[in-house]
Structure 1
Amino acid sequence: MKMGLFRITVLLSVLSLVSGCASIGREFPSSQVSVITIGETTQRQIRSMFGAPWRVGIENGQRTWTYGHYQYSLFGEGSTEDLVVRFDNRGIVASYVFNTTEHQEGAPVAGQ
């Protein structure tokens, strides 16, 4: 039984390497970015909309939460999305940045 599980694991690993794809981070509902309001949206609301952050940190004394999903491919185009939210000392959104490679030229980006 253990040998069968080992073989399946090795096979899946090899297939992953051969496909040339890698995924980092976690998917998040990027359609919700337009709902964020600077000076009003709270940490609790951000967590409710996007779930637990993928990374947390501090930038210029402000707590930051990062949501990101990055897919890379050796044989085709990859895709990336990330959202960095900065909170003031009250836990209210002070600023945010959303970036994606999934866009159409001339189309407005969420939050604009």
Structure 2
Amino acid sequence: MKFVRFFLLALCMLLLVVGCGTVGKNFDSSKVKNIQNNVTAQIDILDWFGVPYKEGKENNRTMWTYQLDTWQAIGEGQSKGLVILFDDNNIVKAYRYESNH
């Protein structure tokens, strides 16, 4: 009987640990309000948010992605993402920020 209780407790603990996860890297979302299209430089973005989680190209223009997704077995996960597209002069052309909290 003790073995069964121990086994069930261990199984529950394992499910809680396995049911949690994180993708991406946290960033200071309070600074998103400082971004201005056609004004903010890439160096400012780097200073405010650090190295992006992902870098890519869209129509030969640099695109940076900052992202943090967390989930857990109990409770609601959190998600936030910032995608920034730069022009040929490394100035913000457009950006999109989304968050569920």
**1:57-85: per-residue Cα shift (whole Å, max 9, x none)?**
01122210000110012322100000000
Q: Secondary structure at the match of 1:89?
A: coil
**1:14-35: per-residue Cα shift (whole Å, max 9, x none)?**
x675331101111000000000
Describe how 1:35-54 pairs up with structure 2 within 5 A.
Answer: 35-54=34-53
1:31 corresponds in structure 2 to: 30
Sequence identity percentage: 35
State how far apart, in whole Å, the 2-side matches of 1:61 and 1:99 are: 24
Change (3 A) 1:25 1:91: same
Change (3 A) 1:45 1:92: same
1:63 corresponds in structure 2 to: 62
2:73 corresponds in structure 1 to: 74
Q: Tell whether 2:90 aligns with 1:100.
A: no
Unpaired runs of 5+ in structure 2?
A: 1-12
Moved runs in structure 1, 4+ residues, more than 6 A? none
2:8 corresponds in structure 1 to: none
Contact kept? 2:62, 2:87, Cα under 8 Å: yes
Aligned residues: 88
Larger radius of gyration: 2
1:10 corresponds in structure 2 to: none
Unpaired runs of 5+ in structure 1?
A: 1-14, 103-112
State how far apart, in whole Å, the 2-side matches of 1:16 and 1:59 are: 42
**1:79-100: per-residue Cα shift (whole Å, max 9, x none)?**
0000000000000000000000
RMSD over equivalenced CA pairs, Å: 1.4
